[in-house]
């Protein structure tokens, strides 16, 4: 068996998340980086995220700090790497 070395992979997780207004959220990551994100500036609201077009649905998002991501009411989640680098 030949093993190919892989680079160290760091999982970026947030430790705290808050809904601010409309499509804006505030996240604090485990490494101390924190900031405000406007989700509508980088998420296309179609397919599994189509329900987020309605602000009432967006306000139902859940911040899951154990997994380090955000879940919609249909269980679709946003990649923590995307959130971190946005």
Q: Is residue 30 part of a domain?
A: yes
Overall residue count recorded for the chain in this entry: 86
Q: How many domains does the chain have?
A: 1
How far is it, in rounded angstroms, from Cα 13 to Cα 18? 14
Q: Is residue 80 part of a domain?
A: yes
Q: Is residue 42 part of a domain?
A: yes
Work out the burial of residue 11: count CB atoms within 10 Å of its CB; fewer than 13 is exposed, 13-18 middle, 19 or more buried. exposed
How far is it, in rounded angstroms, from Cα 41 to Cα 73? 20
Helix/strand number for the chain, H first, E second: 2, 6
**Does the global pTM surpass 0.85?**
no
pLDDT in tens, 50-75: 999 999 999 999 998 788 888 999 98
pLDDT in tens, 14-43: 888 999 999 999 999 888 889 999 999 988
């Amino acid at each position: 068996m030949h093993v190919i070395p892989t680079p160290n992979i760091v999982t970026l997780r947030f430790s705290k998340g808050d809904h601010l207004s409309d499509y804006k959220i505030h996240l604090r990551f485990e490494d101390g980086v924190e900031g405000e994100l406007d989700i509508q500036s980088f998420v296309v609201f179609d397919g599994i995220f189509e329900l987020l077009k309605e602000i009432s649905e967006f306000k139902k998002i859940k911040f899951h700090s154990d997994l380090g991501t955000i879940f919609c009411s249909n269980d679709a989640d946003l990649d923590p790497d995307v959130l971190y680098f946005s």
